[in-house]
Structure 1
């Protein structure tokens, strides 16, 4: 199996954490923090792969005006995020190496034309996943203890804000020209996308508190608080934003909540 090997990241980032912050962790907490940041390292790698495919889809749909180039820059930003997360793994005493799981191809949406296909992916990636990431990373930044970790999270957050805004601006720009039929089809897709978003996020946000204040200061989140923030982001940001562009997001979210296997574990 192929591995993602980012050893040496702490030196590349010139990242050092206060020894006192590390000393406050017991071995269980340190292990939890290492696993958290190693998972983030992998997630950022996967995001880079997704944006690479998205750039090609934008070209195919004829959506130029610098958009494919902007997405290509976002790929580089995600790679840098993976390296920064690897740096945290190393300063916590872990190895910045992880086996890559078998990854499904980025959806091509062969049942749709090129414009609808890319809109589906932009909505799923930027308007949904990246918007949730902005909310969660901002909360982590606020609770981070060491100043070096706050700066690292601020750097990642600034990029993720840009990734989310890219999708929101594209949807806003194209919304006036979307036909009623396409809006309806995108609404049908939103049921699937929102269901998948909730399933993914809740699987990675276990309903348990952080093991300690010291662990939370180094990135091990309070799962209960993170879940509340996830639902608030969907209800107060994502759904209203898509509704404002003429997409039936509210009915799609209600349908996802009624049909999703995760619905009973929302709290």
Structure 2
């Protein structure tokens, strides 16, 4: 099995955390923070792979202009995010090396024509996943203690905002030309996409508080608060935004709640 090895990232990022912040961490806090940032390192690496596939799908769908170049830039940004997360692992005393899991291919949606296929992935990646990422990273930035970590999270946040806006703007531009039948099919797809979003996010947001304020200051989130923020983002940002583009997002979200094994987590997130 191959591995992702980003040793030397702290030097590349010129990242240092002040000794006081590190001294406040006990061994449990430090291990929790290292696991958190190493997991983020892997997630950012996977995101780069997803955007690479999306660039090819945009080309097949005939969506031109500067969008393919923008997605190529997004790939580079996700690679840089992975390296920045690796830098945090190193300054916390960990090793930024992780085995790469076996990953399924990025969906090609062979049951749909190229435009519908790319819209499904743009919605899933930018309008759903990246929009949630913006909310969660902004919350982490606000609770971060060391100024160097605040700056790093602000850098990542700025890129993630652009990744989310890419999808929302493309959907807004194309929405007026979508046929009623295509809108209905995208609504059917949204049930699947929203279910997968909730399953993925809740599996990475443990239903427990951060082990300490010191751990939270270096990026170990309060899982309860993060879960509440996730559901608020879906309810207040994602569903209304998709509805505004003429997609039946509210009914899709209700259907996902009715069938998803995660639905019981909603009560605890309120």
Relative to the length of structure 1, the TM-score reads 1.00
Correspondence for 2:176: 176
Hey, what's the Cα distance between the residues in 2 that align with 1:214 and 1:18? Answer: 13
Hey, what's the Cα distance between the residues in 2 that align with 1:222 and 1:146? Answer: 18
Q: How does 1:244-255 map to 2 (within 5 A)?
A: 244-255=244-255
Hey, what's the Cα distance between the residues in 2 that align with 1:100 and 1:230? Answer: 26
- What SS class does the counterpart of residue 218 from structure 2 fall into? coil
Q: Cα offset for 1:65?
A: 1.0
Correspondence for 2:86: 86
Correspondence for 1:213: 213
Correspondence for 1:162: 162
Superposed CA RMSD: 0.4
Per-residue CA deviation, residues 184-220 of structure 1 (Å, 9 max, x unaligned), is 0000000000000000000000110000000000000
- What SS class does the counterpart of residue 264 from structure 2 fall into? helix
Hey, what's the Cα distance between the residues in 1 that align with 2:76 and 2:55? Answer: 12
In structure 1, runs of 5+ residues without a counterpart are none
Q: Cα offset for 1:107?
A: 0.1
Q: Does 1:232 align with 2:238?
A: no
- What SS class does the counterpart of residue 4 from structure 1 fall into? strand
Hey, what's the Cα distance between the residues in 2 that align with 1:169 and 1:67? Answer: 11
Correspondence for 2:148: 148
Correspondence for 1:106: 106
Per-residue CA deviation, residues 200-246 of structure 1 (Å, 9 max, x unaligned), is 00000011000000000000000000000000000000000000000
In structure 2, runs of 5+ residues without a counterpart are none
Hey, what's the Cα distance between the residues in 2 that align with 1:64 and 1:45? Answer: 26
Correspondence for 1:203: 203
Correspondence for 2:28: 28
Q: Cα offset for 1:265?
A: 2.1
Correspondence for 1:69: 69
Hey, what's the Cα distance between the residues in 2 that align with 1:69 and 1:11? Answer: 29
Correspondence for 2:57: 57
Q: Which consecutive aligned stretches of 4+ in structure 1 deviate over 4 angstroms post-superposition?
A: none
Per-residue CA deviation, residues 70-92 of structure 1 (Å, 9 max, x unaligned), is 00000000000000000000000
- What SS class does the counterpart of residue 192 from structure 2 fall into? helix
Relative to the length of structure 2, the TM-score reads 0.99
Hey, what's the Cα distance between the residues in 2 that align with 1:162 and 1:7? Answer: 28
Hey, what's the Cα distance between the residues in 2 that align with 1:45 and 1:162? Answer: 17
Per-residue CA deviation, residues 15-36 of structure 1 (Å, 9 max, x unaligned), is 0001110110110110000000
Correspondence for 2:129: 129
Hey, what's the Cα distance between the residues in 1 that align with 2:240 and 2:92? Answer: 40
Hey, what's the Cα distance between the residues in 1 that align with 2:161 and 2:64? Answer: 21
Correspondence for 2:96: 96
Q: Does 1:223 align with 2:229?
A: no
Q: Cα offset for 1:264?
A: 1.1
